[in-house]
Structure 1
Amino acid sequence: MQTPPIKLISIAKRIHKNQPMIELNQALISRYSGLENDTRGKFGPRQITLLSQESWQQACDAIHQPNISWLTRRANLLVSGKQFSSSDIGNYVRIGKAVLEITQECEPCIQLDFQFKGLQNALNTSYAAGVCCKVINSGKIEINDRVFFEVSQHQECLFDFK
């Protein structure tokens, strides 16, 4: 039995602090600004955030709120077919032409509990809140792009950019 591919199922950004997230069909990811025009996309180890659809759903189910929008989490990219773990830190992710390096686990903030009681705690287990990434290679991404994970060896990007 073949494992289904990992896919990018949604993209979101926030243009201004304290504004709602905006979903996009496509976006440009830049080495210098993360997701184009996102308020938090500054250069550094937390330019882009990835969230697992499966982990998100488990957290929502844990607080008996199965239909919470993933935008509540305020992540940039939602992927299906992958749950994150500590073994992902330092590895690379390719979506379209963009390449990201997973730098750390995302820590869920208290703001989540203001919206849904218990959500912060539900996301505070085993990378359920997703991972933070820095951009290695700029590129355009689109919903339904396949997502490829590459195990880092000697911190060199192993993807063929041809």
Structure 2
Amino acid sequence: MDGRLIGIARHGRPRGPIEILDHVHVSIEAGVSGDFRGAVKPGGRGKRQVTIMSREGWEQAMTDLGRDDLDWWIRRVNLLTEHVALPHKPGTILHLGSSVALQVTGECDPCSRMEEIAPGLKAALTPEWRGGLLCRVIAGGEIALGDGVKIEEQA
């Protein structure tokens, strides 16, 4: 079974409020439209344009934490998937919907902000890249909840 996109979020400034969306435009120039991290700075490589994590990883972190009352978006990632094993290999390409392609650039390490949200959350998100992936946009377009998520097979 192919994976699917089940969550979209953005925040317009550091520590700003999270906005939950049903659909959004993603571009090479700006990442997730309206998210402060998406724009590639002059001379930058766009290694953190879009962040993505899996529902399964989030649920395992919540189980380890002994909680079930925290929404996924408090992790402050842009996209939430389900039914797809997100790759732990930089360079891998993810396809979302009919046109968006993201290249994995690394692990989205949980920061100390997670401890402000819930003691132990940072440690619960650390194993097996549960905190998510950092990605660069290599093809833009529109994405919406329910869109398919596929991993491009590496040669």
TM (norm. structure 2) is 0.91
Partner of 1:93: 94
Partner of 1:137: 139
Partner of 1:70: 72
Give deviations 1:46-65, integer Å, cap 9, x for gaps.
10001110000100111111
Equivalent-residue separation in structure 2 for 1:103 and 1:17 (angstroms): 21
* Pair 1:116–1:83, CA change in 2 (3 A): farther
Identity %: 32
Unaligned runs of 5+ in 1: 154-162
- Contact 2:92 2:103 survives alignment (8 Å): yes
- Contact 2:54 2:132 survives alignment (8 Å): yes
Partner of 2:35: 38
Please show how residues 13-32 of structure 1 align to structure 2 within 5 Å. 13-32=10-29
Find the partner of 1:109 among 108, 111, 114.
111
- Contact 2:32 2:50 survives alignment (8 Å): yes
* Pair 1:146–1:101, CA change in 2 (3 A): same
Give deviations 1:84-137, integer Å, cap 9, x for gaps.
343x32111111211110110110001111111100001111111010000001
Find the partner of 1:147 among 142, 145, 149.
149
Question: Offset of 1:15 from its aligned partner?
Answer: 1.5
Equivalent-residue separation in structure 2 for 1:152 and 1:116 (angstroms): 37
Partner of 1:158: none
Give the AA of the match of 1:94.
H
Unaligned runs of 5+ in 2: 41-45
Question: Offset of 1:8 from its aligned partner?
Answer: 0.1
Aligned-residue Cα RMSD (Å) equals: 1.2
- Contact 2:26 2:140 survives alignment (8 Å): yes
Question: Offset of 1:82 from its aligned partner?
Answer: 2.3
TM (norm. structure 1) is 0.88
- After TM superposition, the runs of 4+ consecutive aligned structure 1 residues lying more than 3 A away are none
SS at match of 1:126: helix
Equivalent pairs, count: 149
SS at match of 2:80: strand
Equivalent-residue separation in structure 1 for 2:83 and 2:69 (angstroms): 19
